[in-house]
Amino acid sequence: MASSFAGRPANVAKGLRRKLALGLAAPFAVASVLATAGITVAAPPPPAAPNFGPNVVILDPSMSVATIHSIVDPIDAAQIPAQFGDGRYEILFKPGVYGSSTDPLNLQIGYYTDVAGLGALPTDVTINGTIDVYNQCASGSCVALNNFWRSISNLTIDTAGKSGCQTGEFWATSQATSMRRVEVNGLTTLMDYCSGPSFASGGFIADSVFNNSTVVNGSQQQYFVRNSTLDGWSNAVWNQVFAGVANAPSQAFPTPPYTTLATNPESREKPFLYLDANGNYNVLVPAVQTNSSGPSWSTTQSAGRSIPISDFFVARPTDSVFAIDAALARGKNLILTPGLYNTRLPIVVSRPDTIVLGMGLATISPQNGTVPMIVGDVKGVEISDLIFDAGPKTSPALLTIGGPFASLLPSGPHGASDPADPTTLSDVYFRIGGAHLGKALAALVVNSNNVLLDNIWSWRADHGNPGTVGWTVNTADTGLLVTGNNVVATGLFVEHYQKNEVVWSGQNGKIVFFQNEMPYDPPSQAAWTEPDGTLGYPAIRVTNNVKAFQAWGIGSYSFFNQGVDIFSANAFVVPTTLAPGSVKDAFTIFLSTAASGGIQNVINGVGGSSTIANPDVVVPVVSYP
């Protein structure tokens, strides 16, 4: 305050300070007098919630279980079948206890729904009950293979309230899902074993604790868990990877196919909303961790920084990109509330340490072939909980970090990348086709150094609404292109692209867990052959300039379903000059006897083939070179 009195006469400054002090003290003095007189003074009401829009539901522990069901059940009914629908929802629980052992709260969640607690710690919100995802049944087959796009975070589940087969927490999900900062006390199953065949296809757990029961992996073909604590893990199918997880299964790949790292090379937990003691909304931005194990919280809050909600521009789908970019240029952080953002200009993030926080998997779709979001070559930007959905005209990329597009950004406070403050993408998903016609050359392009990718699903759709899927319809070459150095990917899913699915040209890169399906739909071998005549394209190509690169637990699958033999020479191509053992636990698999062709080698001509001769069998390379 002293600077506001600069240049004023001393007696004037003294008088202003005295009036200011009296003004601040008056309410407390009045309250003291009233209290002395025995008059009760009501506490001021808590601050009102920000206007997050109609698709953000905020629940209070004073609500009955019946009231919560009346609010949430209609959302679930709409979203559970809506794989390619337009609905987007966020369900938030204020700190407190919900349900009881005699009146439990058992909810289901569907597509494009995030459920989160608003406490500073996961233990600040307790659900006596479950938050479930079950199989979807069609034509007599019940599976979780397409249970995408949903999450649960920052709360505690004390399992209660179900009987018969479906007891405990059922989290039967596949790609583009996450369970973060969750404590479960009781049974957790990652498959819905109560209806068959119950197949599930991968998921992501981080920063979580599971007590009093082994986690049932069941039919999950692949799964990635990091920085968590288990009370046991039931089994493996093709590829289960654990990094920095207490009580994880021991390293055993390929029999059983467990890949276990004692520590996780790098992590930064996703920013999250929370209420402070005064009822104010804030966003906690956790600090980066290196070579870490276990959850970032136990009884104390994660290290990091807290940002008041007033420092955010809370955007609605009706807001223009001009308004969003103007707010970002003024130094605001950004919250994108649930909905569809159909854009014709890029959202520009040019300031270091900007937070871009999606809610309810807010979805950005370019309508005229632009790049819908461009991030400058700056440090510490964090982007989370978004879907980038390609539009009808071909975009060069859907999200770029640094590089040529960044040079087009307006001038502003730029700073070099920083390993202690990496730009981070958490639960960020890319889609080419499926919901509507979509085209792009690449999905995600990372040109900056020191970038962390945590749970990324980059998907050229293999199924969807009519007219949105086909070799010449939803076209896209590459799911991830990395030229930056010191880029780390933890939980990377890239599927069905038409050329090299991942191209990695940066130095000192790391991938911990990778899942890939090659494109199902090449119409002929000639249509899917490299210019030099090599059959097909690899799932990961590390270019020859790279001197250092590491990967653990990486798998590529084939299911060429056009009725003709299609082959890929290799699942993975890397420089032969990498240090010995740079790639650990790589494998291929041929998915179905209904398919043709296959993958001829795991990596650089090594490892044997996956074809109709050995369907559903892991073909491994434990260490390369």
Cα end-to-end distance, the chain, whole Å: 64
Report pLDDT for 9. 36
Amino acid at 253: F
- The domain ranges of the chain are 2-36, 56-268, 352-624
* Model confidence, pTM: 0.92
- Name residue, tokens 């949430």: 72
Report pLDDT for 407. 61
Q: Which long-range contacts (CB under 8 A, 24 or more apart) does 282-287 make?
A: 282/306, 282/307, 282/308, 282/309, 283/307, 283/309, 283/312, 283/333, 283/355, 283/357, 284/120, 285/355, 285/382
Calpha distance 205→92 (Å, rounded):
19
Mean pLDDT of 115-142: 97
Amino acid at 500: N
Per residue in 214-256, pLDDT (tens digit) is 999 999 999 999 999 999 999 999 999 999 999 999 999 999 9
Calpha distance 249→261 (Å, rounded):
10
Confidence check: pLDDT of 25 > 60: no
Quick check: 253 and 623 in contact, CB under 8 A?
A: no
Mean pLDDT of 188-201: 96
Per residue in 379-392, pLDDT (tens digit) is 999 999 999 999 99
Report pLDDT for 34. 36
Report pLDDT for 89. 98
Calpha distance 391→384 (Å, rounded):
21
Mean pLDDT of 344-349: 96
Give the CATH fold of the 352-624 domain. Answer: Pectate Lyase C-like (2.160.20)
Per-chain mean pLDDT for the chain: 92
Per residue in 28-68, pLDDT (tens digit) is 333 343 344 455 555 566 677 789 999 999 999 999 999 99
Place 12 in a pLDDT band, splitting at 50, 70 and 90.
Answer: very low
- Report in angstroms the alpha-carbon separations of 428 from 107, 337, 457: 25, 15, 7
**SS3 of 227, please?**
strand
Tell me the β-bridge partners of 599: 568, 610
Per residue in 147-164, pLDDT (tens digit) is 999 999 999 999 999 988
Biggest CA–CA distance in the chain, Å, is: 94
Report pLDDT for 40. 53
Confidence check: pLDDT of 614 > 80: yes
CB-CB neighbours of 20 under 10 Å: 12
Quick check: 91 and 114 in contact, CB under 8 A?
A: yes
Confidence check: pLDDT of 116 > 90: yes
**Lowest mean per-residue pLDDT among 27-31, 307-311, 502-506:** 27-31
DSSP letters spanning 291-329: EE-S-S-SSSPPSEEEEEGGGEEEE-TTS-HHHHHHHHH
Tell me the β-bridge partners of 245: 228
Tell me whether domains 56-268 and 352-624 share a fold. yes
Per residue in 441-465, pLDDT (tens digit) is 999 999 999 999 999 999 999 999 9
Report pLDDT for 406. 65
Place 410 in a pLDDT band, splitting at 50, 70 and 90.
Answer: low
Report pLDDT for 232. 97
Confidence check: pLDDT of 4 > 90: no
Please tell me which residue in 90, 382, 517, 530 is annotated as part of the active site.
517
Nearest CA among 471, 554, 472 for reference residue 513:
554
Is position 517 annotated as part of the catalytic site?
Answer: yes
DSSP letters spanning 158-222: E--S--TT--SEEB---SSEEEEEEEEES-EESS-TTSSB--B---EEES-EEESS-EE-TTBSE
Report pLDDT for 163. 87
Mean pLDDT of 574-583: 98
The class (CATH top level) of 56-268 is: mainly beta
Per residue in 82-108, pLDDT (tens digit) is 999 999 999 999 999 999 999 999 999
